[in-house]
């Protein structure tokens, strides 16, 4: 049979994944086994050499994508079963697009089967942590097939939209300036401290994983085998892992339940939220809250890196418009976990003053069964307590501790004397709150009280350095802990 009468064969365009045998999909392996000819870049063919025994192998150099696709199509048109291999996923900056586009131009009858693989973006992200956990975009810096002005416009759009960004083909021996140009575009819109992951040869010999700042990207060492992942404004670094959080603080406004108030019903407007069956409509106040938190997130930078600490600090900044708390907040090891566990068990909040007690949100505390107790109300009319020589706040803290016992979350935002009394009871009487949120404000005794709190290791704590603090900031911190306690369990 001559070539003109032979039925066309099949062309498998196979994504090999990053190169590790364990990440080659079963379908990709089956396609390679079925092929009698395998075409591809020689470096990728070397990665699967054990699978190619007994097959015709056609290797080509780097950059000869069209030549490889044409050779594979011509063989398939002669009735051969051909595998055209591509690293990662063949349809993502791979041979899938080249082969399908060329086949359309040739009007071929060859059956083309694109077999997906693990993308370079996904394999690099896995090595870095979870930098692509939220919305992200992908961009190739190769201007061999796409004009640079098009690439630059797309990079500007990505930067403005605040996507995390995966960069393919960041550089080569002949393309040396494009990465610096991209960094310049991004730095117009993003903090210089934004984490950037560089992964070269993921899951194969010669692997290199590095995290740098966006300010250092222009001079980073990259090659055609490097995948670059640039964080969004929300991406942070924790224990060496890049994380782009899925949990937006502003989302709480979308799911906040209506407080239980006497006489309210499912169709009544309550505290700015109107509920209808299966639907929430949000007040202008909720929109302002969401936008405020989004602004804080954009301006906060990568610190603090721990997601739970970040949630608390974000609320503290929202209550005060003071970004100093990002650097001055202090969390004892396990403090947030201890407070969250206490709230989930229904432990109360002990507040030093009525204003702080009033600032604890009932819509967060109520569903958890968390009551709020003020130490001052515990001593009203109590002559012995008031004649003890203590300030009213300190006396109230002593009596509240006696009433609630161990396991409460103590919140002190006004009086350093109340914090000093709480610590005295911890040290001398063995009182064990689950956590002390001690952020009093003032000029006399404040720094000493906070220093004493940070100097002890009996009770976990949340506090801040210096004189700043107050009831609003402390209530905001407690509300953030309640919000964490009421989240996914």
Q: What is the pLDDT of residues 72-88, one digit of tens each?
A: 999 999 999 999 999 99
pLDDT at position 122: 96
* 435 DSSP β-pair partners: 409
Q: Is the pLDDT of residue 271 over 60?
A: no
Is 295 within 8 Å of 234 (Cβ atoms)? no
First to last CA, the chain: 68
Domains of the chain as residue ranges with CATH: 10-118 (3.40.1010.10), 121-243 (3.30.950.10), 295-485 (3.40.50.10230)
pLDDT at position 284: 55
* 451 DSSP β-pair partners: none
Residue 18: exposure state from Cβ atoms within 10 A (0-12, 13-18, ≥19): buried
pLDDT at position 418: 93
pLDDT at position 143: 84
pLDDT band at 56 (very low <50, low <70, confident <90, very high): very high
Instruction: For residue range 58-67, list pLDDT tens digits in order.
Output: 998 777 889 9
Q: Which bin fits 129, alpha (ψ -120 to 50), beta or left (φ > 0)?
A: left
Choose between 36 and 382: higher pLDDT: 36
Instruction: For residue range 170-203, list pLDDT tens digits in order.
Output: 998 888 899 999 999 999 888 888 999 999 999 9
Q: Is the pLDDT of residue 487 over 80?
A: no
Asked which of 18-27, 233-242, 432-441, 466-475 is least confident by mean pLDDT, the reply is 233-242
Choose between 436 and 303: higher pLDDT: 436
d(C-alpha 208, C-alpha 284), whole Å = 49
Neighbours of 416 (CB within 10 A): 28
pLDDT band at 306 (very low <50, low <70, confident <90, very high): confident
Beta strands in 42-162 (DSSP E): 56-60, 81-86, 111-115, 129-130, 136-140
Four-point Cα dihedral 147, 149, 153, 158, nearest 10? 60
Q: What is the mean pLDDT of residues 207-216?
A: 93
Return the residue matching tokens 């010999």: 205
3-state secondary structure of 246: coil
pLDDT at position 381: 46
Closest CA to 167 of 191, 193, 200: 200
d(C-alpha 453, C-alpha 437), whole Å = 10
d(C-alpha 298, C-alpha 294), whole Å = 6
Active site residues: 318
Q: What is the mean pLDDT of residues 319-335?
A: 94
The percent of residues above 90 in pLDDT, for the chain, comes to: 63
């Amino acid at each position: 049979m001559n070539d003109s009468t032979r039925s066309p064969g099949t062309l498998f365009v196979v994504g090999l994944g990053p190169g590790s045998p364990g990440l080659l999909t079963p379908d990709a392996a089956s396609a390679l086994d079925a092929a009698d000819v395998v075409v591809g870049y020689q470096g990728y063919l070397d990665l699967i050499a054990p699978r190619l025994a007994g097959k015709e192998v056609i290797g080509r150099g780097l950059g000869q994508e069209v030549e490889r696709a044409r050779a594979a199509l011509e063989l398939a048109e002669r009735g051969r079963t051909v595998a055209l291999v591509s690293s990662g996923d063949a349809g993502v900056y791979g041979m899938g697009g080249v082969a399908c586009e060329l086949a359309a131009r040739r009007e071929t009858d060859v059956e083309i089967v694109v077999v997906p693989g693990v993308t370079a973006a996904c394999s690099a992200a896995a090595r870095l942590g979870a930098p692509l956990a939220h919305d992200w975009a992908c961009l190739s810096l190769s201007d061999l097939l796409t004009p640079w002005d098009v690439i630059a416009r797309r990079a500007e759009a990505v930067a403005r939209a605040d996507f995390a960004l995966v960069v393919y083909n960041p550089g080569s021996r002949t393309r040396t300036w494009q990465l610096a140009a991209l960094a310049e575009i991004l730095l117009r819109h993003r903090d210089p401290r934004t984490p950037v992951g560089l992964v070269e040869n993921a899951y194969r010999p010669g692997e290199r994983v590095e995290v740098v700042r966006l300010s250092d990207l222009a001079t980073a060492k990259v090659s055609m085998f490097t995948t670059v992942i640039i964080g969004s404004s929300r991406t942070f670094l924790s224990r060496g892992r890049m994380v782009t959080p899925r949990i937006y603080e502003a989302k709480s406004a979308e799911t906040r339940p209506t407080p239980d108030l006497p006489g309210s019903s499912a169709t009544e407007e309550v505290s700015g939220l109107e509920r209808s069956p299966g639907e929430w409509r949000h007040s202008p106040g909720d929109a302002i809250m969401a936008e405020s938190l989004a602004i804080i997130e954009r301006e906060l930078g990568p610190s603090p890196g721990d997601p739970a600490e970040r949630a608390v600090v974000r609320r503290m900044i929202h209550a005060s418009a003071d970004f100093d708390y990002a650097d001055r907040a202090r969390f004892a090891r396990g403090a947030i976990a201890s407070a969250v566990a206490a709230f989930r068990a229904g432990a109360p909040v002990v507040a030093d003053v009525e204003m702080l007690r009033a600032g604890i949100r009932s819509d967060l505390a109520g569903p958890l069964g968390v009551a709020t107790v003020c130490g001052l109300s515990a001593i009203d009319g109590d002559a012995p307590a008031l004649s003890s020589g203590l300030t009213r706040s300190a006396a109230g803290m002593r009596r509240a501790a006696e009433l609630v016992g161990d396991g409460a979350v103590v919140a002190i935002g006004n009086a350093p004397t109340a914090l000093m009394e709480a610590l005295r009871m911890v040290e001398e009487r063995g009182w064990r709150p689950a956590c002390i949120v001690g952020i009093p404000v003032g000029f006399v005794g404040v720094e000493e009280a906070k220093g004493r709190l940070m100097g002890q290791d009996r009770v976990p704590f949340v506090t801040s350095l210096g004189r700043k603090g107050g009831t609003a900031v402390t209530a905001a911190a407690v509300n953030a802990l309640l919000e964490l306690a009421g989240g996914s369990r």
